[in-house]
Amino acid sequence: MSKKKKLIPELRFPDFKNEGEWETNSIGKVFKSFSGGTPSTSEKAYYGGDIPFIRSAEINKDATELFITDKGLKNSSAKLVNKGDLLVALYGANSGDSAISKINGAINQAILCLQSEYSNAFTYNFLTLKKDWIVSKYIQGGQGNLSGDIVKSISIPFPKKLEQQKIASCLSSLDDLIEAHSQKLELLKDHKKGLMQNLFPQEDEKVPKYRFKEFEKDGNWVEKSLIDTADKKVKWSFTGGPFGSNLKASDYTSEGIRIIQLQNIGDGEFNDEYKIYTSEEKADELLSCNIYAGEIILSKMGDPVGRACIIPNKLKRCVMASDGIRLVVNETKYSKYFVYSLINSKPIREAIENKATGSTRKRIGLDELRNIELIMPKSISEQIKIANCISSLDKSIVAQALKIEQLKEHKKGLMQGLFPKVID
């Protein structure tokens, strides 16, 4: 008969080596818990006040977009929470997420607030580590929602209070480091945004605010259509993905040729976490919808519509899903990186938005997109100079994002050692 595994973490601070096993307890027994409600949206007097109304997607933010009044609070079941309370998202896309509230505010039924003398930060880190397991085990009816009772039924191994605080403090210092690097990343992105506004002409302008000295006498930039930049010698150099019926879920495979989905097309970056595949035979059948490493892919749909990224070099051959658009740039006349950066610039993004249709989620067709006007230098040399400037900044942004991901992975590994391995 096998012995029951002891609730002792693999990594333990020296002060607590002789403290023995951790004790398991349910969240409901340890924490006081409550959810709130939403003030009636038909009552204008309930909104526009100074009480932040925290919605499920905002549990980890230091600001909200919606505020309610004292009257709205008193005439509804909305509940107040304090900065430092532990919040768990029950409904919505982030169901199962938890966070330490960064603000005082009010919550509705989509959030469960947990309050206790136990360390909120300790419990938050455990719930974060176990989120995927919690969602897969307790999700209700496949609808992406949890209930307060389910969360309260979850058992957590707890050490004594001092050890909880020590673990929480260790992980909190790592969170602070991740936050500092995240702020640096945002500053780099803001710097790039400002740089692009100066390196590209703005609305109704023919030259940029800043120009490299060697090109100051080259005159105005010229108008081109997006389709003008495509390489006419390459078949399907400007083309969209297949009709939905031509690439169905039944065509997906566990490995093979990567399908580039709408989710992979980031705003100036390729998002690699969404991975589905199809067979080589299916890719051959959809040859006109193939796209290759180093080529530009644009999105037909928001948010935002018309955003573009470059297919990474590691993906030699891919198939676009229906909402992707392939652009192969004629690199004898145009700098590919310049064209890619120009597509993602504010004036072109606004032009695409104006041509797009749809009220809730914008969409643009291939014909409308091909005729989008670009203002660009006559000289490919000037295009390359601008592209190199932006590219060097993009490399810094990618390196900074990678550093953040490495820190997050380090934290995840540390958490796995600091918490006992619980048998599910």
Element (H, E) at 112: strand 111-115
Residue 226 lies inside a defined structural domain of this protein: yes
Q: Tell me the C-alpha to C-alpha distance, in Å, between residue 7 and each of 24, 31, 384.
A: 9, 21, 60
User: Residue 318 in contact with residue 259, Cβ under 8 Å?
Assistant: yes
Q: What is the pLDDT of residue 121?
A: 93
Nearest to 44 by CA among 76, 14, 69, 9: 69
Residues 351 and 261 in one domain: yes
Residues 251 and 188 in one domain: no
- Which CATH number goes with the domain that contains 268? 3.90.220.20
Residues 198 and 106 in one domain: no
Rounded Cα distance between 134 and 142, Å, is 13
Residues 354 and 307 in one domain: yes
Rounded Cα distance between 292 and 329, Å, is 12
pLDDT per residue as tens, the chain (424 positions): 445 568 899 999 999 999 999 999 999 999 999 999 999 999 999 999 999 999 999 999 989 999 999 999 999 999 999 999 999 999 877 889 999 999 999 999 999 999 998 889 999 999 999 888 887 787 754 556 888 999 999 999 999 999 999 999 999 999 999 999 999 999 999 999 999 999 999 888 899 999 999 999 999 999 999 999 999 999 999 999 998 889 999 999 999 999 999 999 998 999 998 899 999 999 999 999 999 999 999 999 988 999 999 999 999 999 999 999 999 999 999 999 999 999 999 999 999 999 999 877 889 999 999 999 999 999 999 999 999 999 999 999 999 999 999 999 999 999 999 999 875 5
Rounded Cα distance between 181 and 29, Å, is 37
- Which CATH number goes with the domain that contains 403? 1.10.287.1120
SS3 assignment, position 226: helix
pLDDT tens digits for 71-103?
Answer: 999 999 999 999 999 999 998 778 899 999 999
Q: What is the pLDDT of residue 140?
A: 52
pLDDT tens digits for 230-250?
Answer: 999 999 999 999 988 899 999
Residues 295 and 328 in one domain: yes
Neighbours of 215 (CB within 10 A): 18
- pTM equals 0.82
Sequence-ordered list of residues with C-beta below 8 angstroms from that of 1, at least 6 positions apart, any chain: none
Neighbour-count burial of 61, counting CB atoms closer than 10 A to its CB (0-12 exposed, 13-18 middle, 19+ buried): middle
Residues 174 and 233 in one domain: no
Residues 333 and 194 in one domain: no
